[in-house]
Amino acid sequence: MSNKKKNNHFAYLIAVPAIFALLPIQANADSQEPSNSYFLGEVPTVLSANRLATPQLEAPAAITVIDKQLIEASGAKEIADLFRLVPGMQVGHYSGHFPIVSYHGMSDIFSRRMQVLVDGSSVYLPSSGGVTWSDLPWQIEDIERIEVIRGPAGATYGPNSFLGVINIITTHASQDQGSTAKATIGDQGYRRLLLSNSGSNGNLDYRVNLAYLEDDGLQHSYDSQRTSSLNTRLDYKLTTNDSLQLNLGYSEGPRDFRSADASQEREAFYSSLKWEHNISQSESFYVNAMYSYNRVDNQFTSNIAPGITSFTNNDQRAERLDLEFQHTLEPTDNTRLIWGLGHREDQAMAPLWLNNHKTEKSHLQRFFTNIEWRLTEQLILNVGALAEQNSLADNNISPRIALNYLFLPNHSLRLIASSANRTPTITEAHLDFTLKTSIGSLPHTTSEDNLESEQTEYFELGYHGQFLNNKLSGDIKLYRQNFDDLLSSKLTSSLPLIVDNRDSASSKGIELEINYRPSHQTLFHGGFSYIDIDSQSANPDYSRSAPTTDFNLLASTHLDNNWRVSSAFYYRDEMEWLRSENRLGSFKRLDLTVAKTVKLTGKEAITLSFMLQNALGKNETFVDGNHYDNRGFIEIDYHVH
């Protein structure tokens, strides 16, 4: 399937106009005043910190918000690239179709220590853990905004909300209705087509997207992909107090895997149905049901030594059913309370990791609550906890207490203390990785019986401020995090390696984030982090799994005659992904975008975009030989309202 050619003509074609277009970035930046913007005129509201709509000044967590305007300005072609805008986050690629997203390091190719939600439902894989981003059927255009909790949120979202939480919120089907056809071509055989239609029929709002992607991936790697996907969102108003939200998504297609003879067939299905009932203006409840299915077909042989062949069966099946009830109310004038229950059933089949074709199952029950108590006009206390019963590990309680002090209008300090846990995945709990060869089987890695959950304690001192009529916001946090019972393999004189709860580590650092939107046409975004991980473990080496420093800078503006230009720069220090055995040098990436919108009629418009990624040249990602090269893209977007 691969057709790898050194072909960067798009990159060079658009580099010159992109750079020149960026020179007058301030020329007409403030030519118009905003009509509506998430960050303008009022303090931003976030939903994810405590499951309550909360002004960001009062949120019991450090949160990065990536909204539609910032997504458009970034020029990102895949969802994973958006998280380069988050201080303390690392983005890499195990292959061209396998991005990795982690917060504060401590991750291999599966980022098991971070929770990922789409419209409140977890898309964390029950089998191997983490998220296979390229399998998600949602398109970057579906996203209304992303809220990233930078810190543990076990008290809110339970197991695996260990380092942080990504909550992707899709656009309500009633917004931006019409039809869209978008086509993108670029280097490395990149071809993408998106067809979208949204509209209304009585009390029903709907959106349907169909997308197809071809991409030859990284240079000199067998990592091409051909992916077709379909997703739909339905929002139905049953009564004035009742609403239904239905999400359906499906993706499938072949991927190259390591060699021309080891291709994968992948399939993913996600669905969720949410009923929400408003009892009054201050009281409501919802019931949410979610089901997901993931399939990988991947069997191949390899010559590992003269006369010795290995046989690999990396077929995988994973299913999840999750039910959740949540009740929100205001018991008194100065308190808000949420509480809820959840039940989850997971099952997985993975012969490579389990050394059998059995389907292993697990179940989890959870109870969660959080009370927000406004002690005075300036002091806000949040106390919450989540209790879980899990069939894979011990039962756990994850508490959090947070105090916000609004010492001046639009300025607040926050103190947070919390703990969280990470439950072993099905493949970790039942691990029996055995090499199958032409001369016999060789046990390689197994897990101890009755693994325990990993544990963390977290402490944060933060500041959030709004300036210039809320056009400028800044957030600073100092943190310390301690880890115990981390899962790792025990080094022995002979195979197999034994995985158990044997490691500990600690992390401390500082993070800074700034957003400035002087008008609806112009935005600036920046982030910085310093991370210091201390660990005595050699296998894996947690202390090198995150860069000491990283930062990002983005600027975007709309010029006269419907031109838009933006640039984004990303930097991180040296780091080494866990178990990669490859020390990566520093990473510098510059992305440039130039776009022109032409209004055809009152309802029709075409936008032509030119994008250059990695304009500064080649960067390593994950291991030697995996290189980001500069890539150019041309995109045409036709939209009718």
**Looking at the domain 9-640, which fold is it?**
Maltoporin; Chain A (2.40.170)
Query: Do residues 516 and 524 lie in contact, with contact meaning Cβ atoms separated by under 8 Å?
Result: yes
Distance CA 266, CA 262 (A): 13
67 burial level (CB within 10 Å; 0-12, 13-18, 19+):
buried
- Residue 516 has a CB neighbour count (10 Å cut-off) of 17
Instruction: Please give the share of the chain, as a percent, with pLDDT higher than 90.
Output: 74
Distance CA 519, CA 309 (A): 63
- Residue 597 pLDDT: 96
Instruction: Please give the share of the chain, as a percent, with pLDDT higher than 70.
Output: 91
Alpha carbon separation from 327 to 49, 349, 401, 403 (Å, rounded): 16, 35, 20, 23
- Residue 220 has a CB neighbour count (10 Å cut-off) of 12
Query: Do residues 223 and 96 lie in contact, with contact meaning Cβ atoms separated by under 8 Å?
Result: yes
Query: Do residues 196 and 180 lie in contact, with contact meaning Cβ atoms separated by under 8 Å?
Result: yes
What DSSP assignment string belongs to 528-552?
EEEEEEE----SS-GGGSS-SEEEE
Lowest mean pLDDT among 47-51, 285-289, 479-483: 47-51
Query: Do residues 152 and 420 lie in contact, with contact meaning Cβ atoms separated by under 8 Å?
Result: yes
Average pLDDT for 493-508: 89
Lowest mean pLDDT among 3-17, 228-242, 538-552: 3-17
Query: Do residues 548 and 504 lie in contact, with contact meaning Cβ atoms separated by under 8 Å?
Result: no
- Residue 8 pLDDT: 45
Mean pLDDT, all residues of the chain: 90
Amino acid making up residue 410? N
Distance CA 44, CA 471 (A): 10
Amino acid making up residue 621? T
pLDDT tens digit sequence for 392-424: 988 999 999 999 999 999 999 999 999 999 999
Amino acid making up residue 195? L
Average pLDDT for 181-203: 95
Q: Identify the three-state secondary structure at position 15.
A: helix
Higher pLDDT, 540 or 406: 406
Query: Do residues 448 and 430 lie in contact, with contact meaning Cβ atoms separated by under 8 Å?
Result: no
- Whether the CA torsion 633, 634, 640, 641 is positive or negative: it is positive
Alpha carbon separation from 197 to 194, 209, 256 (Å, rounded): 10, 7, 31
The strand ranges marked E within 238-315 are 242-257, 259-280, 283-297, 299-305, 308-313
Distance CA 534, CA 542 (A): 8
The token pair at 267 is 């399939």
Task: With cut-offs at 50, 70 and 90, classify the pLDDT of residue 617.
Answer: confident
| pLDDT at residue 38 greater than cutoff 90 | no
- Residue 22 pLDDT: 39
Task: With cut-offs at 50, 70 and 90, classify the pLDDT of residue 624.
Answer: low
Question: Does residue 540 have a cis bond before it (omega within 30 degrees)?
Answer: yes
- Residue 449 has a CB neighbour count (10 Å cut-off) of 8
Query: Do residues 101 and 164 lie in contact, with contact meaning Cβ atoms separated by under 8 Å?
Result: no
- Residue 4 pLDDT: 45
- Give the length of the chain: 641
The token pair at 112 is 């098991």
Distance CA 578, CA 104 (A): 12
Task: With cut-offs at 50, 70 and 90, classify the pLDDT of residue 469.
Answer: very high
Query: Do residues 109 and 128 lie in contact, with contact meaning Cβ atoms separated by under 8 Å?
Result: no
Backbone angles phi, psi at 37, to 5 degrees: -155, 145
Query: Do residues 326 and 320 lie in contact, with contact meaning Cβ atoms separated by under 8 Å?
Result: no
Backbone angles phi, psi at 160, to 5 degrees: 80, -5
Lowest mean pLDDT among 305-309, 424-428, 443-447, 450-454: 305-309
pTM of the model: 0.92
Lowest mean pLDDT among 80-84, 137-141, 540-544, 613-617: 540-544
Residue whose entry in the numeric block shows the structure tokens 């905004």 = 145
The H or E element containing residue 353 is: helix 351-354
Bridge-based pairing state of the strands 497-519 and 440-447: parallel
Amino acid making up residue 96? G
SS (H, E, C) 70-99: HHHHHCCCCHHHHHHHCCCEEEEEEECCEE
Alpha carbon separation from 379 to 56, 374, 382, 402 (Å, rounded): 14, 6, 10, 10
pLDDT tens digit sequence for 226-271: 999 999 999 999 999 999 999 999 999 998 876 666 688 999 999 9
- Residue 489 pLDDT: 83
Q: Identify the three-state secondary structure at position 572.
A: strand
